[in-house]
Amino acid sequence: MKLTFDFYQRPDVTLVARELLGKLLVTNVNGEHTSGIIVETEAYSYREKACHAYNERRTKRTEVLFADAGTAYVYLCYGIHSLFNVVTNKIDVAEAVLIRAVEPKENIEAMMCRRNMKELKTSLTNGPGKLSKAMGIDQSYNSRSLLKSDIWIEDIGVSYHSNEIISDARIGVGYAQEDALLPWRFSVKESIWVSKGNNKYKII
């Protein structure tokens, strides 16, 4: 069952981030239907410095974060990678969940083709830039609604108890000072598809 507006509009972005684990991310790009199970997420909020819309900063780019719940926020990172987020909370409240890793489910061949890979490895989708490419998500999906387009998230009856979820500091947000320590990264403990993180800016 496709997730509805009510799922995304709830006020606690970390709760939504946790509950997105085990859900199925589905895209239908250029006639290729692909999907993967979400195994790693991060929460972002206007209340903390790691967020692009920190302190309610509105610019052309961050405007999407103030949009209605269930809107996709796709932005270019390091000039190369498209990172996929889902906007949560009420309209004009800038919060979002970054999808960091998925377990490939349907049409894995098409995903490998998009990533130029010959054999199936976890590196197909174990990172935010990687899964976007595998799923065919690019800048053109920015500000698209997940409630009524060719990209959406489904509930497939999987949910995790808190002892099956790892809660940790987010990756690559060292610039956010004290907010970089918030345990707002969530991943499925048993999954081998979780990203390895980024040692470069790792916080001790």
Partner DNA sequence: GCAATGATTTACT
Partner DNA sequence: GTAAATCATTGCC
Binding site for DNA (CB under 7 A): 42, 44, 50-52, 57, 59-62, 65, 73, 75-81, 83, 85, 96, 98, 115, 123, 127-130, 170-173, 175, 195, 198-201
CB of 28 to DNA, least distance (A): 22
CA gap 14, 41 in Å, rounded: 9
CA gap 195, 17 in Å, rounded: 16
Nearer to DNA, 24 or 53 (CB): 53
Strand runs (DSSP E) across 20-113, as ranges?
24-29, 32-45, 72-77, 81-87, 95-106
* Closest among 30, 3, 9, 35 to 148, alpha carbons compared: 3
Nearer to DNA, 118 or 161 (CB): 118
Nearer to DNA, 70 or 127 (CB): 127
Instruction: Map tokens 């250029």 to a residue.
Output: 30
CB of 100 to DNA, least distance (A): 7
CB of 157 to DNA, least distance (A): 27
Nearer to DNA, 39 or 83 (CB): 83
Torsion, Cα 112 113 114 115, to 10 degrees, reads: 50
- Hey, which residues does 153 pair with through a beta bridge? 25
* Closest among 149, 155, 182 to 16, alpha carbons compared: 155
CB of 161 to DNA, least distance (A): 26
CB of 204 to DNA, least distance (A): 14
CB of 1 to DNA, least distance (A): 26
Report CA torsion sign: 88, 44, 72, 116.
Answer: negative
Nearer to DNA, 59 or 162 (CB): 59
Nearer to DNA, 17 or 161 (CB): 17
